[in-house]
Amino acid sequence: MIRTQLKTYHRPDDLKEALTLLQQGGKTARLIGGGIDLALHLPPDVTALIDLSRLPLSSIEEGSNGITIGATATMTEALEHPAIASYLNGVIVTTLRQVASPLLRNLATIGGTLVSTHPWSDVIPLFLALGAEVTLVGEISERIPLSNLYDSRERLKGKILTVVHLPKPAAGTAAAFRQFSRTGFDVALLNCACFVRVEDGRCLETRIIAGGTPRLASSLPKAEESLIGAALTEETIEKTARIAQESSSVGDDRRASADYRRKLVYVGVKRSLSEIKDRLEETKR
């Protein structure tokens, strides 16, 4: 489709120039990374695109505090990076391999995926479960939990997400992801991601996230609270999965009914927590 509404296409050489163009353009300007979303759904009032490909925002680095992923790093680049492959037994790689097709993963950027706020996103629930943080640059630079990014769309107004931060996993931690879809390339009917940190046989930290409900991924606090202080056994996993099922806010759309999604929450949480239990037991051997 020819985008005749577009009047300007900018390729800034640095972040300052990109921010100036974004703030000057206001509602008529959009940032472009891989460009997949804008190619499919360009808002009618957008007349200017700001291409971030020249900015040095595509590096992936491992440090003493975890991993930093530049916003314009593609899913394929993340898949092929050794630090990502080894992070929590490869849970990120396992998840990314389920996203779209290889050709789309060559274009789709990590930062663009997070700011797109698609309800069916597989990356958002996983990164929420991992406790990711992001750096936003505008008039000031701020580093915030990824979960705070979705409190209000105003968070992104006039700002650029530049870096994604993944914390270094502590001892006794594991994570898992489950997606339910009709085909390998279809978007999720529902997905979920879980993270657990165990110390002295008890769960001290938990994050249980459900996405594609069909709303944007969010935590299930009642299910999370049910695990705190408990041993990760088959009985507690069953109880937590039931609580997740009962407390999840799900709805109908053309892909699935609310009742079916509620059942998928139970299955996804139970399978994820069971995988985490097995992972943690393996590390003891």
CA dist., res. 129 & res. 125, Å (int): 6
pLDDT at 1 over 80: no
Which pLDDT score is estimated for 5?
86
- Helical (H) or strand (E) element with 174: strand 173-180
Q: What is the mean pLDDT of the chain?
A: 95
Q: 54 — phi, psi (to 5°)? A: -85, -15
Give the pairing of strands 60-63 and 66-70. Answer: antiparallel
- Helical (H) or strand (E) element with 163: strand 160-167
Single out the residue of 268, 137, 121 nearest to residue 194, CA to CA: 268
- The secondary structure of residue 221, as a DSSP letter, is H
CA dist., res. 272 & res. 202, Å (int): 17
The average pLDDT across 142-170 equals 93
Do residues 121 and 98 lie in contact, with contact meaning Cβ atoms separated by under 8 Å?
A: no
CA dist., res. 207 & res. 194, Å (int): 6
CA dist., res. 193 & res. 269, Å (int): 7
CA dist., res. 114 & res. 134, Å (int): 10
Cis-peptide, bond into residue 119, ω within 30° of zero = no
The confidence band for 100, taking pLDDT boundaries of 50, 70 and 90, is confident
CA dist., res. 131 & res. 89, Å (int): 16
pTM of this prediction? Answer: 0.95
Which pLDDT score is estimated for 232?
98
- Render pLDDT for 12-40 as a digit per residue (tens, 0 to 9): 999 999 999 999 999 999 999 999 888 88
Query: In a 10 Å sphere around its CB, with 0-12 CB exposed, 13-18 middle and 19+ buried, how is residue 107 labelled?
Result: middle
Q: What percent of the chain has pLDDT over 90?
A: 88
- Render pLDDT for 209-259 as a digit per residue (tens, 0 to 9): 999 999 999 999 999 999 999 999 999 999 999 999 999 999 999 999 999
pLDDT at 45 over 60: yes
Single out the residue of 63, 113, 65, 58 nearest to residue 80, CA to CA: 58
